[in-house]
Amino acid sequence: MSFDESFSEADPAVAEAVAAERDRQESTLMMIASENHAPPAVLAAQGTALTNKYAEGYPGERYYAGCQHVDEIEQLAIDRAKELFGADHANVQPHSGTQANMGVYFAVLEPGDRILSLSLSHGGHLSHGHSANFSGNLYDVEQYEVEADTGYIDYDSLAAHAREFDPDMIVSGSSAYPREFEFDRVGAVADEVGAYHLADIAHITGLVATGLHANPVEHADFVTGSTHKTVRSGRGGLILCDEAYTDDVDAAVFPGSQGGPLLHNVAGKAVGFKKALEPEFEEYTRRIVDGATALAETLSGHGVAPVSGGTDKHFVLVDLRESHPDLTGAEAEDALEEAGIVVNKNTVPGETRSPFVTSGIRIGTPALATRGMDTEELETVGELIVRVLDAPDDERTVESVRGAVRDLCEEYPVYDS
Ligand SMILES: *Cc1c(COP(=O)(O)O)cnc(C)c1O
């Protein structure tokens, strides 16, 4: 045993599991809409000696000595985030998207204040006020839903709900709403009822950065995001806000709800944001959205219904009830995983099964686009998905799709090109 043993010498069990996970990612299609492959440069930045450094505070105002280099790194991450999203102020310290939302709530709300947000089963997020989350425990939450027949948000009924409930904050943004979020309309409602507007762009950071999804910065007091999803900058969170809220937001993150920042992850964010500012990133995000559109069309061509009839974003939410009434989301998830296509079961509007079973699956394209795939490959993947959904218990079908998936993965490697 010595201090400088290699990873595999020091801990073969963990090292082997990490290698196996890397292999799993390389040899399957990661279609969980919130996942992506971070560029090697981001992984390299994250696995550094920055993990050793304490830097409570913010660049130029730390509680510890020796912060000159981490100050430079965090400032680069802040400046690039501001440029990427056109924001006045950025806080890049939240450890996750949930911590970013906590930071915003703590900045301007008191326990017991009222929040109006999209319900989890209609595409919202736990941190938007679910009873199992701190946000549901601390605040008085009411939720809006999508229309069961169209799958779209009805902004007029959202406005009526807001007038009646008189919330202190309205949260827009989602994890599983396949249509463009009309942040301008939510912003107008928030103005009318005198509420703060928090726009959570966790899933769509990359699409907002390149203008493929409307940018809420103009229409919201606060914008939060995760950095590991479409912007593929490594695991973490982000808060953007107007200059006026800078001190409140910064104080709510540290010391309000976190201790020392994860500077290795802040370095990952800095590197990822730099890459997202490059022209290639725009082309990448276009393939995400075009691929999801091609996937939706392929599926609906086989009668497999995308909720809302299609997608404006990076994933398709499939409602299996018409095409495959006996197949649950959980069963579809299992059969697809056997075939090397990793998706997640998801509730659908008007859901009749439990959240552990569900009648839908959510199928995302960001990781496939990172591998270089485009519309043609997503059409192929759509055909493979339909084959599995049509015969989830047929071993020969599943094996044959698994083979086709392996071939695709070899043709489009992630890290081992
Ligand atoms: C993923 C997600 C988050 C939370 O991100 P974590 O980093 O997992 O905490 C918050 N809001 C929405 C809408 C999300 O989709």
pTM: 0.97
Residue 188 CA to ligand 1 center (angstroms) comes to 24
User: CA–CA separation, 99 vs 258, rounded Å?
Assistant: 8
Mean pLDDT confidence for 393-413:
98
Query: Tokens 């998830």 sit at which residue?
Result: 333
CA-CA-CA-CA torsion for 130, 132, 136, 141, nearest 10 degrees?
40
d(CA 273, CA 94): 16
The one-letter amino acid code at 279 reads P
For residue range 331-357, list pLDDT tens digits in order.
Answer: 999 999 999 999 999 999 989 999 999
Overall average pLDDT of the 403-415 stretch: 97
**In 6-135, beta strands by DSSP E:** 29-30, 57-58, 61-62, 89-91, 114-118
* pLDDT 10s digits, 273-302: 999 999 999 999 999 999 999 999 999 999
- The alpha carbon of 302 and the centre of ligand 1 are apart by a number of angstroms equal to 32
Most distant CA pair in the chain, distance: 66
Q: What tens digit of pLDDT does each residue of 209-253 get?
A: 999 999 999 999 999 999 999 999 999 999 999 999 999 999 999
Across the chain, what does the average pLDDT equal? 97
Contacts of 292 (CB under 8 A, 6+ apart): 311, 313, 314, 315, 316, 364, 365, 378
Residue nearest to atom 10 of ligand 1 (CA): 97
Dist. CA 292–CA 365, nearest whole Å:
6
Burial of residue 142 (CB within 10 Å: 0-12, 13-18, 19+) is middle
Cα–Cα distance measured from residue 5 to residue 11, given in angstroms and rounded to the nearest whole number: 9
Please state, as a whole number, how many other Cβ atoms lie within 10 Å of the Cβ of residue 393. Answer: 9
Q: How far apart are CA 251 and CA 253, in angstroms?
A: 5
Six-digit token string for 214: 């409307």
- Ligand 1 center to 314 CA (angstroms): 15
Pocket test for ligand 1, best of 93, 122, 125 (most atoms within 8 A of CB): 125
- Residues framing ligand 1 (Cβ under 6 A): 34, 96-98, 125, 127, 173-175, 200, 202-203, 226, 237
CA of 267 to the centre of ligand 1 (A): 20
- Which residue among 93, 186, 226 has the greatest number of ligand 1 atoms within 8 angstroms of its CB, and so is best to mutate? 226
Of ligand 1's listed atoms, the one at least distance from the Cα of 229 is 1
Alpha-carbon span 179 to 47, nearest angstrom:
36
Residue 397: both structure tokens together = 């079908």
pLDDT above 80: residue 416: no
- C-alpha neighbours within 13 Å on the C-beta side of residue 12: 2
Q: What is the pLDDT of residue 364?
A: 98
